[in-house]
Amino acid sequence: MSAKKWLKELRAQGYRLTDARRAVVETVAQSPRALTPSEVYDLARERYPTLGLVTVYRTLEKLEELHLAQRVHQDDGCNAYLAHAEGHQHLLICEKCKKAVYFEGDDLDDFFTEVGKKHNFAVKDHWLQLFGTCEDCKYG
Amino acid sequence: MSAKKWLKELRAQGYRLTDARRAVVETVAQSPRALTPSEVYDLARERYPTLGLVTVYRTLEKLEELHLAQRVHQDDGCNAYLAHAEGHQHLLICEKCKKAVYFEGDDLDDFFTEVGKKHNFAVKDHWLQLFGTCEDCKYG
DNA sequence: CTCCATGCAAAATATTTGCAATTCA
DNA sequence: TGAATTGCAAATATTTTGCATGGAG
């Protein structure tokens, strides 16, 4: 139930809990895949029909600020938001159903630092995503 | 001089060589960092002042199709184009001057396949970028 | 009751398309 | 010459901002 945790966190940061925010938060928290603002709008309106698209944008912005959600970049677009994982994790995304799964990659840090050294770069951050087909989409 | 190679490749694919295309191609081929359509427009107009922004969009689209250039996704935007490297390489980008450098990462493929197996994914592709500070930007 | 938050409308951006004029091969 | 290309203008699409109303605390 990360939705409740998110709402608590929003409250802790001094933000008010409104039906509009609850609808957006629950929609993103429960989705197995990254959603665009427009998709969040459509889904969240099933919970709260008078929701405005502007509020979706503003709420997603706050969720990103608080590191509860993160933007996911894919070939088909860079505006989708996904629930964030604990710690520094990386994404594995199904190209068919878009389902996203996190995985650990601690082992990689040393390698990245080493690559940086070779090119006289001080590596501070990295960005890694794997794409493939998940079990459910293997056939069909 | 990849600009000449690119122009030859465009010609080989049946596209005509025009001053507008030459200006765009040379601009992107010579840039040490990824450029947005709007940046390409500004820079390429120094070579060919009557160039239109639409032509920039259309030419970049073709360069991407032919795998001569690739889109680069960064936190501050996802519409920048960079000369593509030979084979499958990854990017190391300076957060200050945005300079981009390619590096090999063949060693990673097995690791990625392994990660996929753990989650019942058939990994087909990956996407990796490192961010840091380059030698020139280390101070200041 | 006091602000914060909302959602509409409008503005600002970014990208794509229709089309007549131009130009490469 | 004939078809591909260009660049303008206009159409779309996306995201942000101004503001009066409404609702959380």
What tens digit of pLDDT does each residue of A59-104 get? 999 999 999 999 999 888 899 999 999 877 999 999 999 999 999 9
Question: Which secondary structure element, helix H or strand E, spans residue A111, and what is its range?
Answer: helix A108-118
Instruction: Evaluate if residue B22 carries a pLDDT over 70.
Output: yes
Q: Which of 3.40.50.300, 1.10.10.10, 3.20.20.70, 1.25.40.10 would CATH assign to domain A3-83?
A: 1.10.10.10
pLDDT at B1 over 80: no
Quick: pLDDT tens for B97-116. 999 999 998 889 999 999 99
Average pLDDT of A119-128?
96
Q: Mutate one of B91, B108, B114, B121 to test the A interface: name it (highest A CB count within 10 A).
A: B121
Q: In the prediction, which pLDDT does B88 show? A: 75
Kindly state the helix (H) or strand (E) to which residue A21 belongs, with its residue range.
helix A19-30
Q: How far apart are CA B114 and CA B126, in angstroms?
A: 13
Widest Cα–Cα separation across chain A:
55
Strand, helix or coil for residue A71 = strand
Q: What is the mean pLDDT of chain B?
A: 95
CB pair distance less than 8 Å for A132 and B138:
no
The verdict on B125 touching A (C-beta cutoff 8 Å) is: yes
What's the confidence (pLDDT) of residue A1? 62
Instruction: State the pLDDT at residue B140.
Output: 67
In the structure, how far is the CA atom of residue A87 from the C1' atom of nucleotide C7, in angstroms? Answer: 36
pLDDT, average across residues A8-35: 97
Determine, for residues A132 and B120 on separate chains, whether the beta-carbon distance falls below 8 Å. Answer: no
What top-level class would CATH report for the domain B90-139? Answer: alpha beta
Instruction: Give the model's pLDDT for residue A87.
Output: 79
Q: Average pLDDT, whole number, for chain A?
A: 95
* Of residues B20, B17, B5, the one with CA closest to residue B83: B5
Which single residue has its CA nearest the C1' atom of nucleotide C3?
A: A16
Contact between A123 and B129 using a beta-carbon 8 Å cutoff: no
A-facing residues of B in 41-100 (CB < 8 A) are: 73, 78, 92, 94-95
Q: What is the pLDDT at residue A12?
A: 97
Amino acid identity at B72: V
Say which DSSP state B21 is in.
Answer: H
Residues 6+ apart with CB under 8 A from A66: A9, A10, A13
Copy the structure tokens of residue B121.
């994914």
- pLDDT for position A106: 81
**CA quadruple B64, B67, B69, B70: dihedral positive or negative?**
positive
Strand partners, B92: B101, B130
Nucleic acid strand C within 7 Å of A20 CB: yes
**CA separation for the pair B117, B124 (Å, rounded):** 12
Q: What per-residue confidence (pLDDT) applies to A13?
A: 96
Closest CA to A11 of A21, A20, A2, A1: A21
A3-83 and A90-139 in the same fold: no
Return the C-alpha torsion angle B97, B98, B99, B102, nearest 10: 150
What does the pLDDT read at residue A105? Answer: 84
Q: Where are the domains of chain B?
A: 3-83, 90-139
Q: Which residues of chain A are within 8 Å of residue B108 when distances are taken between CB atoms?
A: 108, 111
Neighbours of B101 (CB within 10 A): 20
The set of residues, in sequence order, having a beta carbon less than 8 Å from that of A47 and lying 6+ positions away, is: A22, A23, A26, A27
pLDDT digits (tens, 9 = 90+) for A39-63: 999 999 999 999 999 999 999 999 9
* B92 vs A101, A121, A134: nearest CB: A121
Smallest CA–CA distance from B92 into chain A, residue? A116
Amino acid sitting at position A32: P
pLDDT at A140: 67
For the stretch B49-84, pLDDT in tens is 999 999 999 999 999 999 999 999 988 889 999 999
Q: What is the DSSP letter of B107?
A: T
Angle subtended at Cα A135 by Cα B116 and Cα B78, rounded to the nearest 5 degrees: 60
What are the distances in angstroms from CA B92 to CA A113, B28, B100? Answer: 11, 18, 6
pLDDT for B136 beyond 70: yes
Kindly report the length of chain B. Answer: 140
Of A95, A124, A134, nearest to B132 by CB-CB distance is A124
Q: Please state the pTM of the whole predicted model.
A: 0.93
Rounded distance, CA B121 to CA A88, Å?
Answer: 21
β-sheet bridge partners, residue B5: none
